[in-house]
Amino acid sequence: MVRLAKLIPLALVAGAALLVWRIFFPALMSFDSWVQFRQAWDGRYDDWHPPLMAIVLHQCFRLGRGIGLVTFVQCLAGLLGVQALAAAWLEAVCGPAVPPRRAGWIAAGVAFLLLLPPSPLPFYLATFWKDSWAAMLLVWVCALSFRALSASCPSRPHPLAPSPLRGEGERSTGRVVALALLAVLLGLVRHNAIVVLPVTGLVLATALWRRSRAAGAVLALVPLLACLLAERAIDAAFDVQPRHLERLMMVFDLAGVCAEDARACDELPYIRRQAGSGDLAGRYVPGDMGRSFPHGILVRDEDAATLRGEYLRAVRRFPGPLARVKVEAFAPLLDPNGARMVIYRGLDANEFGLRLNPRFAAVREWMTGATVWAGEQSPLLRPLVGSHLIWFLLNVLGIGFLLAAPGRRPLALALLQPLAFSLSYLLATPEPDYRFLYPSTLVIQCVVLSWALGSVSIRLSRLR
């Protein structure tokens, strides 16, 4: 009966995930989604988007399934990940003050709250985006990180030490392996997510340090090295064609440098030619490549060395303007007035005959209206729903809170992962889209809600 009681919250969350899947069946899909879908359909891939998602979808096609199977896994894994993260935070921070059965219901409550409008979570669970996969993977990475790091807190026994509970060591080792694997997948889903992997390596090293310092030191390097090797193996096995996205970002950055400092253009002749005629300073839009270069950017292979040389020259000669370009591009993502395109609302017209389930059209319209109103129109709710700034600051404060608590300092590494994901966009921000930072925001929303509900639960239990 005890085991059955623990399974009830899990079953309810799984049922909610199934309902979300049916409401948005087969998927919400934008232009980027269709690029990957067509690559999966043809079995020909390039690296403009990391090819892993298209390769997985192609295998579904080979099995006689379609995009609906992928979004089913997204909905189920994503919502269960939210529940797992909330439960892991409660166990790591609250400990025995919140009994396991109660923690299970609180974690399920967090999942249900994040499904309600105006939360954008249902839309991300159902959208075939690399941002959706990144969110799904990051919540699981953080959940497993809290489980692994709670052992490193001085007030708690280390989970990899000998335990009177049979099989506890094997379960802990399994979590470490799963954490490393999911971190590698996160790095393969989004180019910028590779910045998170060294932090995950520190999580693994800290989790294993008491058991074996040598193993901890080795595992610190495993996520990053494994991701780089897996990326090369995928490129070779599936003949992934390079699109050299980094070249476009270099042109965009250098155009920003020229817009910041006209004198710099005298030393950047290739960029002057790329910019063409007209006032570059007047038409350059920080962090928005599409508006700055509405006709696109073309960098020929024979010009790659010239572009690289000018970029390195800008790093040496104009570090200040280049740094300002990076910050100005990143800043709109944290705009308290909201970023662009909080959710994607539909499934674009297509040659494959895919269309959204008409049975739930009214439900989708209601959910869309509530979420768009809150995230783009409401002065009160927009800072919470349509902006990442509050959640970014809470991420920083959460790390500070854990570092200030001597018994919980190792747990700060878990929250350093979503912060690293957010800050990775300082390296390259092509558009001011809300979806870019949503994986980090989702992690912090899970943590804040579980902390709030856990605190209420503790206070109520003390009043009895």
Which pLDDT score is estimated for 277? 57
Token pair belonging to 143: 């959940």
Q: What SS3 state is found at 350?
A: coil
pLDDT over 70 (residue 54)? yes
Which pLDDT score is estimated for 265? 84
Written as one letter, the residue type at 213 is R
**CB 328, CB 288: distance < 8 Å:** no
Q: Supply the pTM of this predicted model.
A: 0.94
Region 10-34: mean pLDDT is 97
Report the mean per-residue pLDDT for the chain: 91
In this prediction, residue 41 has a pLDDT band, given cuts at 50, 70 and 90, of: very high
Which pLDDT score is estimated for 439? 98
pLDDT over 50 (residue 24)? yes
Q: Express as a percent the part of the chain with pLDDT over 90.
A: 77
Q: Which residue has the higher pLDDT, 274 or 426?
A: 426
**CB 60, CB 70: distance < 8 Å:** yes
| 233 burial type by CB count under 10 A (0-12 exposed, 13-18 middle, 19+ buried) | exposed
Q: Express as a percent the part of the chain with pLDDT over 70.
A: 93
Worst-scoring range by mean pLDDT, 140-149, 263-272, 358-367, 402-411? 263-272
* pLDDT tens, residue by residue, 333-342: 999 988 889 9
pLDDT over 90 (residue 155)? no
pLDDT over 50 (residue 162)? no
Q: How many CB atoms lie within 10 A of CB 173?
A: 14
At 74, which helix (H) or strand (E)? helix 67-89
Alpha carbon 209 to chain centroid, angstroms: 27
Which pLDDT score is estimated for 160? 37
* pLDDT tens, residue by residue, 308-357: 999 999 999 999 999 999 999 999 999 998 888 999 999 988 999 999 99
Which residue bears the tokens 């253009």? 265
Which pLDDT score is estimated for 170? 63
Q: Which residue has the higher pLDDT, 462 or 347?
A: 347
Token pair belonging to 270: 């290739």
Worst-scoring range by mean pLDDT, 141-145, 248-252, 393-397, 420-424? 248-252
* pLDDT tens, residue by residue, 211-243: 777 877 888 999 999 999 999 999 999 999 999
Token pair belonging to 240: 């992934």
> Mind giving me the DSSP string for 227-281?
HHHHHHHHHHHTTPBP--HHHHHHHHHHHHHHHH-GGGGGG-HHHHHHH-SS-HH
List Cα–Cα distances, 206 to 93, 167, 195, 221, 303, in angstroms.
17, 21, 18, 12, 45
Which pLDDT score is estimated for 6? 78
pLDDT over 50 (residue 178)? yes
**CB 251, CB 274: distance < 8 Å:** yes
